[in-house]
Structure 1
Amino acid sequence: MSPTSISTTAARVVSIVLHPFLVLAALALLAAWRVDPASLSRTALGIGVAIAIVSVFIWQRRRGGHWQTVDASRRQERPLLYALALLVAGAYWIWMGGRASATSNGVLAAVAMLCVAGIANRWIKLSLHMASLSFAGVAAWPLWPAASIVALAALPLLGWARLRMARHTVPEVLGGTALGLVTGVVLLAAA
């Protein structure tokens, strides 16, 4: 295996392990575990169903030739992804009772973040990988500071992976990071 293919494989692994669905699912599970342990099984079930729905949708879009990659890398592929993510996040919020809680407030913040990214998509394809990880890094601070530090420390590695795979440009990586950080700070300030 050449160094280039090893590097690309490593970038793919990092992008999969730190995929927005996995990062946001981990954050929701962490919030449920630390703030409302009684909701942990309901949260896990809701996340499992949401991931299954989104996975089937992504598989269908990719298999049907509508998307070049599984992460909707082209800007024109993104509007439908944003719509589905908002629908799934809204359904999850209702599933969790539609009331203010650690997980539902986090879901609403993530929805707001997706809305901003969706609007910005007209001009720039912000990295949702970077936005999700930076948001989770900030939002996790009051729940478990060690997890927060790990998430924030992983940002440069994820940024490298997104650039290495040519999924984003430097402004898209930095813009996604900034969006996630600001959203996380707003969530904590509102708490």
Structure 2
Amino acid sequence: MDGDLATRDDPAVRPGPGRRLARIVTELTAPAVLVSLLSVMIGWHSARGRYSGLAWGLLAAVFVSLIPLAYIVGGVRRGRLTDHHVRLREQRRIPLLFGLGSVAAGLALLAVLGAPRPVLALVAAGLVGLVVAVTVSHWWKMSIHSAVAVGALVVLVVTFGGHLLVATPLLALVGWARVRLGDHTPIQVLAGGALGGLVAAVVFPLLR
């Protein structure tokens, strides 16, 4: 172990009600789930509620979320990856690079087809975020759950208004779940959230 996973003797990772809740939170706030929902919401909003916006959001979700997730699930089934959250840092590089390629292809396709600027801005922010994740994961295992959760909240606040900051406590719940399961340390959660939020705060408003 290189500090990526907590030891089995750590009380934080022992079975119990808290661990079951942490597992539920982790699954509900998985990057693929949040990114898919966010893509649809931004697409719908960018077209003022018209179904064309929903179509743009779904197309973005295919490249940003569903294709990378399908690759990871395939890797798990073939025994190349431990699980769909890719807990081991040394296994993360290839899935992240594949995801980077998928997002880049999706961004190019969306641009050619004339997708709304907010959708393009969202996908571009995801692309930059993946570049950061690939770079950091070469040495260290930051929390991608936290990065996506904070980034998603930033995008929602920029799009729909500051009143959505009331959801900020949910970010702490996401971080707690990752630590409770022993998948990350507190500093890995904080670093992931800070980087995810920074990328979203810079790239999305700039391009939308």
Q: Which residue of 2 aligns with 1:142?
A: 158
Q: Does 2:108 correspond to 1:108? A: no
The correspondence for 1:66, drawn from 80, 83, 89, is 80
Cα pair 1:139 1:187 within 8 Å, conserved: no
Q: What stretches of structure 2 of length at least 5 have no aligned partner?
A: 1-13
Shift of 1:64: 2.0
- Map 1:39-188 to 2 at 5 A: 39-48=53-62, 51-98=65-112, 101-145=117-161, 148-149=164-165, 151-188=167-204
Describe the SS at the equivalent of 2:168: helix
Describe the SS at the equivalent of 2:70: helix
Give the RMSD, CA atoms, in angstroms: 2.3
The correspondence for 1:32, drawn from 25, 29, 43, is 43
Identity of aligned residues (%): 24
- Closer, same or farther: CA 94–140 of 1 in aligned 2, 3 Å: same
Q: What stretches of structure 1 of length at least 5 have no aligned partner?
A: none
Deviations 1:111-146 (A, max 9, x none): 111111211112221111100010111111132237
Deviations 1:139-179 (A, max 9, x none): 11132237843553311000010001111111110110000
The TM-score, its normalising length taken from structure 1, stands at 0.87
- CA distance in structure 1 between the partners assigned to 2:148 and 2:119 by the alignment: 15
Cα pair 2:32 2:66 within 8 Å, conserved: no
Dislocated runs of 4+, deviation >6 Å: none
The correspondence for 2:30, drawn from 5, 9, 19, is 19
The TM-score, its normalising length taken from structure 2, stands at 0.81
State the AA in 1 paired with 2:74: Q
Aligned residues: 189
Deviations 1:57-98 (A, max 9, x none): 222211222222211111111111111211221222133234
- CA distance in structure 1 between the partners assigned to 2:149 and 2:123 by the alignment: 14
- Answer with 1 or 2: which has the greater Rg: 2
